[in-house]
Amino acid sequence: MRSVDLSRRGFLSGFVGAGLALPSLTTSAAAQAPPNRPLVVTSKTNNAVREEITTTAWDIMRAGGSAMDAAERATNVSERDPRDATVGYGGDPNEDGFHQLDAAVMNGADNNNIGAVAALENIKTPSSVARLVMDRTDHWMLVGRGALRFAKMHGFEEENLLTEEARQHWVDWKENLSNRDYYFPPSAPSEPPGGTINVLTLDGNGDIAGVTSTIGHHFKLVGRVGDSPIIGAGLYVDNEVGAAGATGHGEECVKNSGSFHVVEMMRQGLSPQEACEAVCQRVMDRHNGKPMFNLKFVALDKQGRYGCGALRRTGFAVHDGRGHRVEDGRALLPRLTQAELDALPWR
């Protein structure tokens, strides 16, 4: 009889796909192709940080470092830089004016091991705390006050993550919520950018890792957790197949176990690009062909192929032997119009 991993983490890392795993149908041509290693794929297209993100990961792996170390360190670049106002420090707070951050890590080389934090306050690098949850505990996720206590136990210092620009975004939002409250709105309210970061890595040994980190929706409800720290939704890695990460409307990604299904479609033989588009098509069909939100996936496979598919807004960055570059990916639908956006919450 085949042995079964009944440890808590072994159970959890396989739980998303219970009863859903499909037989490997990877084509022999793809299996025989020279692997493209090392490889870095990220959802981040911010001009200020994208090249530093991919170069950081590439340099670590080129020097013989692991995919997991590379993905974590690359994500830290985004988490620490306030010019990337979509991940944590410098980003827009929740509705009460403070930050609650989410992150997840998954390490293919360590039996697809997992770690995550959610609603973590006052720590710039939640992905590194998630890494410690994976490496130093028998749990897979810590949240809120418990996550903060754990981070401080390991030497992380509490910091104020609210920059002056982010504070002004929050004030502008509060002052424009209603014309029947006691605030006067500003003459020119600002419009913040949105986003999350995924970093997926394939090292020289063929091992795969991934990290997802986010600030979540702009001005979200206190305590809201999206898809980013949920294994199988915002991130999924299978060291025998590939990895995928998601950005966009997290609630919809959770409903569809988005990243897990991208990886499982690659297991069936689809390329990363085809798999990303297939899951986007599935989500689109569930919304009668017109989802009023964006959802984007990035993915890579064991052979070093990669792709990006989205519902409405795409783009991603890559770093391999040809260097750093930005590629378009493919969106199935046009971007929402300004009138459509004005009728929706900021996400």
What's the rounded Cα separation, in Å, for the pair 332 and 291? Answer: 11
Show the CA angle centred on residue 214, arms to residues 213 and 219, nearest 5°. 170
Distance CA 98, CA 176 (A): 18
Asked whether 202 and 67 are in contact (CB, 8 A), the reply is yes
Count CB neighbours of 263 within 10 A.
27
**DSSP output for 200-254:** EEE-TTS-EEEEEEE--STTPPTT---STTSBTTTEEEETTTEEEEEEE-HHHHH
Q: CA dist 151 to 19, 98, 124, 228, Å?
A: 35, 18, 11, 19
User: Which residue among 42, 196, 201, 212 is the active-site one?
Assistant: 196
Cα four-point dihedral sign 209, 214, 216, 218: negative
Dist. CA 203–CA 274, nearest whole Å = 23
Contact yes or no for 140/231 (Cβ under 8 A) = yes
- Give the residue among 195, 182, 221 at the shortest CA–CA distance from 100: 221
Q: In terms of Cα–Cα distance, which of 347, 340, 346, 261 is closest to 297?
A: 261
Task: Tell me whether residue 214 is one of the annotated catalytic residues.
Answer: no
Residue in the block written with tokens 């493919």: 330
Torsions phi, psi for 143 (to 5 deg): -130, 155
Catalytic residues: 196
